[in-house]
């Protein structure tokens, strides 16, 4: 007799998009929309709405799944605080999920990518990045991919994509020309539905935590650049642009024949 699917609530507010989903048996209810500053005011009403539509009370959930990061500092604090508050009140365990793992899972599910370099725009001219290989089982097995233990924080130019791997995430609009070539590029976000697909294996691996031990994964410990840092980045970009223009002009000059 097959095991019953866990009853789960999942949400992510780590990017400019808000994603919420509920699984109850074979039923999957999901919502996505604008996040950012609006997430703190819209997340709870959406959770209540989806749970009501699914016919579930908070206390009936097997776990509350949330995107722990990396991502927007404000978004991560919003997700973590809401998850903690709900878990404390309902006495339900929490399942933190790495947002880059969710990006890779979304690329696998939507595009069939099996080896993925997942990236999220970290702002400040940087990326969060991690590699996930669905062709190779992770240390826990259970259908989870092998992957980097810790996400990286790096400049777009420093990102390396192994031959044959796909690149997936939300950084193409900001850094597209500066990113390494890849077999394919997929726009993908850490959706709540991706987290629900990962949840059974993560639950089996014992990855739940009590509310008091649920923390965001920031990776970077500063929110914004200083004025001097912004000026230095702007100057470096201008210098690079000028150098490229000079090289282009030099290449356009026909060689002289003495």
- Report the Cα–Cα distance between both ends of the chain, in Å, rounded: 88
Residue 205 resides in a domain: yes
Residue 224 resides in a domain: no
Residue 229 resides in a domain: no
Residue 173 has pLDDT above 60, yes or no: yes
Residue 244 resides in a domain: no
Find the mean pLDDT for residues 16-28. Answer: 95
Residue 185 resides in a domain: yes
Residue numbers of the domain that contains 117: 8-213
The alpha-helical segments, DSSP class H, found in the chain are 39-54, 73-90, 99-111, 172-175, 192-204, 227-252
- Reference 126, options 196, 235, 50, 220; nearest CA is 220
The answer to whether 89 and 33 are in contact (CB under 8 A) is: no
Residue 115: pLDDT band by 50, 70, 90 thresholds?
Answer: very high
Residue 184 resides in a domain: yes
Residue 33's pLDDT is what? 86
pLDDT more than 90, % of the chain: 74
Residue 39's pLDDT is what? 79
User: Which conformational region is residue 121 in: left (phi greater than 0), alpha (psi within -120 to 50 degrees), or beta?
Assistant: beta
Q: Which residues contact 56 (CB under 8 A, 6 or more apart)?
A: 7, 9, 22, 24
Instruction: Report the domain count for the chain.
Output: 1
Find the mean pLDDT for residues 19-30. Answer: 96
CA gap 212, 14 in Å, rounded: 20
Query: Looking at residue 136, which CATH number applies to its domain?
Result: 3.30.420.40
Residue 80: pLDDT band by 50, 70, 90 thresholds?
Answer: very high
CA 138 distance to own-chain centroid: 19
Mean pLDDT of all residues in the chain? Answer: 86
Residue 254's pLDDT is what? 52
CA 113 distance to own-chain centroid: 16
Residue 82 has pLDDT above 70, yes or no: yes
Residue 230 resides in a domain: no
pLDDT more than 70, % of the chain: 82
Residue 248 resides in a domain: no
pLDDT in tens, 184-218: 999 999 999 999 999 999 999 999 999 999 999 99
Q: What is the β-pairing status of strands 8-12 and 63-69?
A: parallel
pLDDT in tens, 26-78: 999 999 988 777 778 899 999 999 999 999 999 999 999 999 999 999 999 99
């Amino acid at each position: 007799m097959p095991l019953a699917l866990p009853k789960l609530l999942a949400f992510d507010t780590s990017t400019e998009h808000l994603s919420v989903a509920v699984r109850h048996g074979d039923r999957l209810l999901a919502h996505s929309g604008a996040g950012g500053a609006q997430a703190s005011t819209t997340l709870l009403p959406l959770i209540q709405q989806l749970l009501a539509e699914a016919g579930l009370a908070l206390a009936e959930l097997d776990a509350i799944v949330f995107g722990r990061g990396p991502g927007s500092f404000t978004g991560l604090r919003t997700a973590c605080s809401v998850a903690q508050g709900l878990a404390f009140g309902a006495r339900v365990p929490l399942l933190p999920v790495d947002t880059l793992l969710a990006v890779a899972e979304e690329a696998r599910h939507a595009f069939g990518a099996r080896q993925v370099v997942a990236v999220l725009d970290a702002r400040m001219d940087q990326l969060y990045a991690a590699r996930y290989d669905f062709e190779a089982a992770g240390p826990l097995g259970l259908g989870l991919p092998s992957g980097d233990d810790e996400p990286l924080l790096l400049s777009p130019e420093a990102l390396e994509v192994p031959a044959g791997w796909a690149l997936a995430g939300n950084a193409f609009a900001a850094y597209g020309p500066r990113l390494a070539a890849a077999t394919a590029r997929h726009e993908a976000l850490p959706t709540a539905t991706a987290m629900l697909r990962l949840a059974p294996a993560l639950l089996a691996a014992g990855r739940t935590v009590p509310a008091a031990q649920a923390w965001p994964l920031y990776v970077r410990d500063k929110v914004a650049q200083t004025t001097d840092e912004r000026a230095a980045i702007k100057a470096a970009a201008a210098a690079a642009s000028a150098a490229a223009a000079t090289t282009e002009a030099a290449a356009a000059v026909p060689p002289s024949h003495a």
